[in-house]
Amino acid sequence: MKKNDNRNIAQNRKAYHDYYVNETMEAGIELCGTEVKSLRHGQANLKDAWCGVADGELWLNGLHISPYEQGNIFNRDPRRKRRLLMHKREIARLGSAAREDGLALIPLSLYWKGSRVKVSVGICKGKKLYDKREAAAERDARRDIDRAKKESGFRA
């Protein structure tokens, strides 16, 4: 097993709060050298990131990769657009899904797969406020049930 095999770099927890994730796909990402070095230190933020299809290419917008400290002139803009690498048919399918009413392409996580950086892209549908409240109530109820089971010594 390789050193960096399937290690998470960053996760977009806000996406799971704001969206229903219908489907996920894996994509490669085009990076420069200092960005990869910065990612090895775990300096990335997916919070406000989103994906879009333009001219048959898939682009990742809003991903913040902090500048590498020893990078000097080779550092790039931390919020620049980055191209995602997928097959042409997959990009076309994602583009048609993104054009549907209420669906968006949201990056869910950034992780190492071997020595390469991969992005998990989700086809997501936005949640309404009442959906978010319902999910929070469900999570709290599940937590209370688990706590009660633990206190009573229940074994399944």
Q: Tens digit of pLDDT for each residue in 84-106?
A: 999 999 999 888 888 877 788 99
33 compared with 81, residue with greater pLDDT: 81
Mean pLDDT estimate for the chain: 85
Amino acid at 70: Q
Indicate the range of 11-15, 29-33, 90-94, 100-104 predicted with least confidence: 100-104
Q: Are 47 and 65 in contact (CB under 8 A)?
A: no
CATH number of 8-127: 2.40.280.10
32-to-51, 74, 117, 156 alpha-carbon distances in Å? 19, 9, 12, 50
* Phi, psi for residue 87 in degrees, rounded to 5: -70, 150
Q: If you average pLDDT over residues 101-123, what whole number do you get?
A: 90
pLDDT value, residue 86: 92
pLDDT reported for residue 4: 46
pTM of the predicted model as reported, rounded to 2 decimal places: 0.75
Lowest-confidence range among 13-17, 74-78, 119-123? 74-78
pLDDT of residue 108 exceeding 90, the answer is yes
Q: How confident is the model at residue 74 (pLDDT cuts 50, 70, 90)?
A: low
Local confidence band at 115 (pLDDT 50, 70, 90 cut-offs) = confident
Residue 36: pLDDT band (50, 70, 90) is: confident
Q: What is the pLDDT of residue 77?
A: 65
Query: Residue ranges of the domains in the chain?
Result: 8-127
